[in-house]
Amino acid sequence: MRRYVQIAKNTWDETFTYRFSFITYRIRNILQILTVYYLWTFFIPQNTTFLGYTQSQMLTYILATMIVSSVVMATRSQAIGNDINQGNLSSFLLKPMNYFGYWFARDIGDKAVNLLFSIAELTLLFMLLHPPFFMQTNPFFLVSAILSISLGTILYFYFSVLMGCFGFWSNEIWGPRFVFYQLLSFFAGSLFPLDILPKNLYAVIEYLPFSYLLYFPIKIYLGDLSILMIIKGLLITGFWIGVMHLLVSRVWNKGLRIYTAYGR
């Protein structure tokens, strides 16, 4: 366990090595949120609603995506595909450590940095913009939201590893990840809460895994879901984690069988 903690710490330190790059990355984060924030501020004037959302609810949702995505969707594991393509995987396979554990530890280090800076940036945005923000005080909703975020983090990790496994069969790992990320980001609810979509479409999305990465934890935080809906959502997330675990294990083992350490 201690070695994984050290890996997470190393990732933390590594982030601050290229400071200029890190600062520009953080500015980008703020800009992305500001773009969507200003859009919604304009399209939902105060004292009006947009498909059931008040300006306060929508802005809380948008600002919350900043925090939740900094935990759930921050990852370093996109490098898995490169490891396979360049043959670097071989040295990991020889080491007395779990390869997925290594990447998960790196993810934790990355998420810790992202979370810390997202909170600082959000505080800054609050001081500058004074947005109407809904503060959840009910411990049940808070605990459920944290649980949902934790499950979403595991689910996203599996997605990322699965995308990396493309490296066993193709050198072209960036393309599939790019397409997948576009779809995932949209259907996770990074631009808007998914329940404003047409009902038929939303009914389908509800059973797909993507909405459990951002939309579902934030809806729990907002207190918009009943206990039954929360339990149902957590069970669906658990189901998808199980499916992804089996799928990743199968694909990984198949990939290892054809891995030739090409590039080394």
- Rounded Cα gap, residues 202 and 207, in angstroms: 9
13 vs 249, beta carbon nearer other proteins: 13
**Residue 211 CB, nearest approach to other proteins (Å):** 15
Q: Within 10 Å of residue 261's Cβ, how many Cβ atoms?
A: 13
N- to C-terminal Cα separation, the chain: 30
| Secondary structure letter of residue 136 according to DSSP | P
**Residue 176 CB, nearest approach to other proteins (Å):** 5
30 vs 234, beta carbon nearer other proteins: 30
* Residue 107: closest CA among 150, 161, 157: 157
**Residue 120 CB, nearest approach to other proteins (Å):** 18
27 vs 231, beta carbon nearer other proteins: 27
Helix H or strand E segment including 50 = strand 49-50
Decide: helix, strand or coil at residue 49. strand
Q: Is 226 left (phi over 0), alpha (psi -120 to 50) or beta?
A: beta
**Residue 27 CB, nearest approach to other proteins (Å):** 6
193 vs 233, beta carbon nearer other proteins: 193
**Residue 38 CB, nearest approach to other proteins (Å):** 5
Q: Within 10 Å of residue 78's Cβ, how many Cβ atoms?
A: 16
140 vs 178, beta carbon nearer other proteins: 178
Residues that bind other proteins (CB under 8 A): 18, 20-22, 24-25, 27-28, 31-32, 34-35, 38-39, 41-45, 48, 50-51, 170-172, 174-176, 178-179, 182-183, 186, 191-192, 196-197
